[in-house]
Amino acid sequence: MKPDKNKQADKFLPQKGRRSFLKNSSVSSNRAVSIIKLIIVIFLLPLSFGNSFGFLSVLSSLDRVWVVYFWAGVFSFFVLDLAVYKLNFIYKRGQKIVEVLFSFFSPLVKFAPFVLPIFTILILIFSAAVAFFGAISSHQRILLFLTGFSIVLHLVYTADALRQRPADFLRASHFFAILFIYLFNLVILAATIDRILPEQAFLVEFLRKSAVATTDIYSAIFNQFFLVN
């Protein structure tokens, strides 16, 4: 049996030099991937700004009582977490639930607990079920409060968990993951509010205003860099 071509080539390199060559090749490859991820992050930043603007714009257009209950949930998390007791045990419980749900498909078990805001998704499912039976009006305030609380809990502790992982070149993987998770969670959040307040068409308005804002940002950037007055 003929030896592998790579092995034939390797024998002409000194043992120490071969290890150094392989190590340098691996480092260069990892850095190239990191740079590509960072470029993608920079390219998608206008999308995150546009979606954030779309969400806040639609949220601010709601009746004041809904806005107050949502932000009360957000601020309650920070008060409890910073001044009373760390709530990471709730986040870890949620991760365990996601791991059990995706245990049948091992590749997703690694990423799903960070991507899926399980408690917000449970609120979404509950709201859809209650709305189906026409009894959502008596639960809207508490559900909006819990939605604000649960989504910020997930985002804060996911960012903290990712920050504690080993950093790659320029921390590109960290920024890439955070951006992807943020955008996905924003859609889940909009869908949840849409089910809690079915008469508001929140999700449709969120997508429409986000698309308009994102298009305007990309157009402004393109005009600034590529069009000469």
Digit-coded pLDDT (tens) for 182-219: 999 999 999 999 999 988 899 999 999 999 999 999 99
- Find tokens 């600034």 and name the residue: 224
> What is the rounded average pLDDT for all residues in the chain?
84
pTM for the whole thing? 0.81
- Find tokens 């508490």 and name the residue: 142
pLDDT tens readout for residues 8-37 = 444 444 555 545 544 455 556 666 767 787
What local confidence, expressed as pLDDT, does residue 12 receive?
46
Average of per-residue pLDDT across 164-181:
73
Check residue 170 and give left, alpha or beta (phi > 0: left; psi -120 to 50: alpha): left
Tokens of 228: 């000469």
Q: Are 125 and 191 in contact (CB under 8 A)?
A: no
Residues 6+ apart with CB under 8 A from 191: 124, 203
Confidence at 116, pLDDT banded by 50, 70, 90: very high
CA nearest to 202, candidates 68, 53, 59: 59
What local confidence, expressed as pLDDT, does residue 9 receive?
47
